[in-house]
Amino acid sequence: MVMVVAESSIPTVQSLVRWDPVGHAEAELTARSEVGLPPSVHIAALDGTAEAVMALLDQAGLPDPERFQAELLGPVELPPGVRRPAGIPAGAPVTRMLVRVRREHGLELAACLRRAVSVLSARQTHEPVRVQIDPLHIG
C-alpha cells in the first residue's frame, strides 16, 4: 500500500496516482528542454577565480559559434553551500561560469575542457578551476 500525503495537483503526485512514470518522464523532459536544462542539453560548471575561469575559456576557445554553439551563462558568485575549489586562497573571490551546449556536443565539450585544464595545469599560471559536467545543482 502506498499513501501519498501531498497536494493532488502536483504533477509527480498525479503520475503516481495514474501509475504513469513514462508520461511523467516525458513531461519533465519537455519542461527541462524548454528552459535549456539537462538532460536536453549538456552544461559544464566552471568554478574558480574570475581570471582562472577566463583563462580556461580562452585556452579552450570558448565560446566558438562555428564548432558547437557553446553558450556562456555567467559569471555569477558561487552558490551558497557549495565548497570552494581546492587550491584557491581563502580570501580570493570564487565565481561560477556555465557553458551550455546541445546534447550532441557534450563529448566534444568535455574533451575541449579536459585539454584546456591540462595545458593550464602544466603552465601553473593561474589558480585551479573545478570543472563539472552536468552537475546536480547549478545554482
Asked whether residue 112 falls in the same domain as residue 62, the answer is yes
Instruction: Report the alpha-carbon distance of residue 112 to residue 129 in Å, rounded.
Output: 14
Question: Do residue 27 and residue 49 come from a single domain?
Answer: no
According to DSSP, residue 63 is labeled S
* CATH number where 127 lies: 3.30.70
Domain ranges, residue 120 = 41-133
- The answer to whether residue 100 is domain-embedded is yes
Write the pLDDT tens digit of every residue in 54-94: 999 999 998 877 777 889 998 999 888 889 999 888 888 99
Residue 126 lies inside a defined structural domain of this protein:
yes
Residues 24-45: tens digit of each pLDDT: 899 889 998 998 888 899 999 9
Q: Are residues 119 and 94 in the same domain?
A: yes
Residues 24 and 60 in one domain: no
13 & 63 share domain: no
**Residues 48, 107 share a domain:** yes
65 and 123, same domain (yes or no): yes
- Compute CA distances 49 → 62, 76, 129, whole Å: 17, 11, 8
Number of domains the chain contains: 2
Residue 53 lies in a domain: yes
Same domain, 48 and 29: no
Higher pLDDT, 130 or 89: 130
Residues 24 and 58 placed together within one structural domain of the fold: no
In a shared domain, residues 18 and 50: no
